[in-house]
Amino acid sequence: MNLESLVHVCLAGLSTGMFIWLVASGLTLIFGVLGVLNFAHGSFYMLGAYCAFTALKLMGGNFWLGLLVGPLVVCAVGFVIERFFLRHVYGLELPYQLLLTFAFVLLFDNLVKIIWGAGSIGSPSVPGLSGSVNILGRFFPVYNLFIIVVGPLVALGLWALIEKTWYGRIIRAASTEREMAAAIGVRVPALFTGVFVFGTWLGAVGGALAVPYIGLLTPGMGEAIIIEAFVVAVIGGLGSLKGAFLGALVIGLLSSFGTRFLPAFDMFLTFILMAAVLLWRPQGFFGKAV
């Protein structure tokens, strides 16, 4: 293996990793604050992709406008789910919460088929970010470089929001000591709704950004990504954003190197890493101790 293929395998791994991170960030934020592992997060990703696509079509083909409007529509969906469904099952046992979000996965998969059809839709290219650049004699898609840049920016933004702002302080307070936060006047239910909607928005943005990256919209796209996002969230430590970022990098690189050297065991490696982390360090890289 020479230098340029090493660089290219790394680049592919980085873009895959950053792409999963965009989805896993919202999942991790919601788990960290609300304590709910949200199967429907993959559906938000899918809905984000489809809504952005439709918004783009309706508004004259501007990708950025689609990216802005599409995820906002999905936020409304997230609001309804948290306010009218999820809120009523926080007190119940874990299976009910998981199955409730799973029911929404089935619901949205079917709704997408009704609204947009069961077939795949080809995605439009993004002006200014289409085509490839020559890196060390091989071509690499510009859009994937864009994803590699956007991922860390999102991470930076989230870090600043949570560590440096007033809202972040309240979020941290409510996630560590729910009762105490409520006692000093934080409106915890409203905060939960807000965090859930924000997490929904992150997932939907991930989906909107995924459209040009994977090139196709398919009704089952959410189910494939949610498992990868689970893996990343678990490896990093459930609820830890820092961990999810690192986990996404590890999984991205593992899958690109795995595809290169052990193509038959690419998926196997991912899950064996997930199981190993759960067994030896269930709190993940940075999670709270179990």
Partner 1 sequence: MKRYAPILFAGIALAALVLIGLIGGRFLIYLTSRVMILSIFAMGYNILFGRTGLLSFGHAAFYAGGAYGLGLFMLHVLPHPLLGIVVGVACAALLAVVIGFFCVRHTEIYFAMLTLAFGMMVFSLIWNLRDITGGDDGLVGIIRTPIALGPLSIPIIKPQSYYFLILALLLLSVFLIYRIRHSPFGLVLAGIRENEKRVAFAGVSLKNYRLGAFVLSGAFAGLAGALGTLLESSTSPFSAHWSHSAEPILVTLIGGLQTFAGPMVGSAVFIVLREVIERFTHNWMLWFSIILLVIIMGFRGGIVGILSGRRK
Question: Is residue 111 a contact residue for partner 1 (CB under 8 A)?
Answer: yes
- Please report which residue ranges of the chain form alpha helices under DSSP H: 3-34, 41-58, 63-84, 94-116, 142-164, 166-176, 178-183, 188-214, 221-236, 241-261, 266-280
Give the residue carrying structure tokens 């409106």. 187
What's the N-to-C CA distance of the chain in angstroms? 41
- Least distance between partner 1 and beta carbon 283 (Å): 10
Between residues 34 and 67, which has the closer beta carbon with respect to partner 1? 34
Between residues 94 and 156, which has the closer beta carbon with respect to partner 1? 94
Between residues 59 and 106, which has the closer beta carbon with respect to partner 1? 106
Give the residue carrying structure tokens 């660089």. 7
Between residues 102 and 167, which has the closer beta carbon with respect to partner 1? 102
Distance CA 72, CA 200 (A): 9
The answer to whether 146 and 155 have CB atoms below 8 angstroms apart is no
* HSE value, Cβ hemisphere, 13 Å, CA-based, for 14: 18
- Least distance between partner 1 and beta carbon 184 (Å): 29
> Hey, is 279 helix, strand or coil?
helix
Question: Is residue 88 a contact residue for partner 1 (CB under 8 A)?
Answer: yes
- Least distance between partner 1 and beta carbon 170 (Å): 25
Between residues 104 and 143, which has the closer beta carbon with respect to partner 1? 104
Number of Cβ within 10 Å of residue 187's Cβ equals 13
- Least distance between partner 1 and beta carbon 102 (Å): 6
Residues 6+ apart with CB under 8 A from 254: 13, 269, 270, 273
Span 175-234, contacts to partner 1 by CB under 8 A: 223, 227, 230-231, 234
- Least distance between partner 1 and beta carbon 229 (Å): 12
Distance CA 26, CA 195 (A): 9
Q: Number of residues in contact with partner 1, rule: CB under 8 A?
A: 40
Between residues 149 and 264, which has the closer beta carbon with respect to partner 1? 264
Q: Shortest CA distance to 33 belongs to which of 156, 173, 158?
A: 173
Stretch that binds partner 1, among 62-70, 104-112, 125-133, 182-190 (CB under 8 A): 104-112
Span 247-276, contacts to partner 1 by CB under 8 A: 264-265, 267-268, 271-272, 274-275
- In which region does residue 171 sit, left (phi positive, over 0), alpha (psi from -120 to 50) or beta (all else)? alpha
Stretch that binds partner 1, among 51-59, 87-95, 147-155, 243-251 (CB under 8 A): 87-95
Between residues 64 and 271, which has the closer beta carbon with respect to partner 1? 271
Question: Is residue 93 a contact residue for partner 1 (CB under 8 A)?
Answer: yes
Residue 120 phi/psi, 5° resolution? -80, 150
What are the residues binding partner 1 (CB under 8 A)? 37, 85, 88-89, 92-96, 98-100, 102-104, 106-107, 109-111, 113-114, 223, 227, 230-231, 234, 238, 264-265, 267-268, 271-272, 274-275, 278-279, 282, 290
